[in-house]
Amino acid sequence: MAAQGLHVPREYRRGGKANDEDNSVESGVELIDLMCRRLELPDLGNSAVLDFGCGVKLVQAILADELPLGRYTGIDVFPEQISFLRENVEDARFEFHALNLHNEMYNPEGEPLSAATQLPVPEASMDIICLFSVFTHLAPHDYVAMLKMLRRYIKPDGRLIFSLFLYETTPGGLGFIDHVSRHLKPTEEQIANWQGPPDFRDWDPQQPLKWAVYSREHALRLVQGSGWQIESLNDPEPSIQHYMICRPVLT
Ligand SMILES: C[S@@+](CC[C@H](N)C(=O)[O-])C[C@H]1O[C@@H](n2cnc3c(N)ncnc32)[C@H](O)[C@@H]1O
């Protein structure tokens, strides 16, 4: 199945599964399945989808499995990858755009993201805005700016879905903190002095924003005033970390 539709050279693939293309495409299929399930859609056949920080995974999944699709707009800060997609995806339902936005991990020389950042698509035109493994690399100021900026592009009945790292263990054991806590051996003093998770922690400052981890409270608080209302904040599943689903606040 995987990667039959579009093979993407290794240098244009990013993220945890970048070294295994088949596995990456399979996880793209799973993410689309999860998105449809959680948004209560039979498929993406009637949806205009904005995939922000798109990478290549969802495009490969849609093409490999010939999944129904209305329209797909992929935006990323990786210009060579966007050029590759433009040159190799000959399907009028897809469009791709590169933006030179700052991200400490992926594009440190880029321009600051702000609530006023303009995207090359019409406002209020998207049914679904998705960001998979993007907020997982966002500092708090970008978390807020991203939400405010994206709000302008959603239709009134559209939905936003994004994954993030939360600073908590979960019953299923599939989250980032579940993973690292299996290797941590806190001292009794550390346990006694534990005051709860920090609002935000850049987990490994040597690798800035590789793991941007938020407390649940802060992740929820940062959505307030951004133009979105939270529909759900969900535990990790095999194909995804914690993820939030939001609707636009209608004024
Ligand atoms: C871990 S990869 C995930 C890619 C894809 N969403 C997936 O699930 O396979 C993170 C992506 O977000 C992009 N990115 C990071 N910061 C961004 C920003 N501020 N705006 C747009 N894209 C960004 C990176 O270039 C990279 O392609």
Q: Tell me the pLDDT tens digit for each residue of 72-96.
A: 999 999 999 999 999 999 999 999 9
Residue corresponding to tokens 């600051």: 112
Report the percentage of the chain scoring pLDDT > 90: 88
The Å distance, Cα 30 to ligand 1 centre, comes to 18
- Mutate which of 50, 73, 77 for ligand 1? The one with the most ligand atoms within 8 Å of its CB, which is 77
CATH no. for 10-248: 3.40.50.150
* Amino acid at site 116: A
pLDDT tens readout for residues 24-35: 999 999 999 999
Structure tokens, 113: 């993201």
Average confidence (pLDDT) over 188-216: 92
Whether residue 58 contacts residue 32, with contact meaning beta carbons closer than 8 Å, is answered with: yes
Sign of the dihedral through C-alpha 151, 155, 158, 163: negative
Please check the confidence at residue 190 and state whether its pLDDT lies above 90: no
pLDDT at 3: 41
| Mean pLDDT, the chain, integer | 95
How far apart CA 177 and CA 70 sit, in angstroms, is 36
Take atom 8 of ligand 1 and give the residue whose Cα is closest. 132
pLDDT tens readout for residues 146-183: 999 999 999 999 999 999 999 999 999 999 999 998 88
Whether residue 139 contacts residue 202, with contact meaning beta carbons closer than 8 Å, is answered with: yes
pLDDT tens readout for residues 56-71: 999 999 999 999 999 9
Please check the confidence at residue 4 and state whether its pLDDT lies above 70: no
Take atom 24 of ligand 1 and give the residue whose Cα is closest. 53
How far apart CA 10 and CA 21 sit, in angstroms, is 8
Which residues pair with residue 233 across a beta bridge? 244
- Closest-lying ligand 1 atom to the alpha carbon of residue 136: 1
Return the H-helix or E-strand segment holding 22. helix 21-38
Structure tokens, 4: 């039959």
Quote the pTM value: 0.96
**Domain map (residue ranges) of the chain:** 10-248
Please check the confidence at residue 2 and state whether its pLDDT lies above 80: no
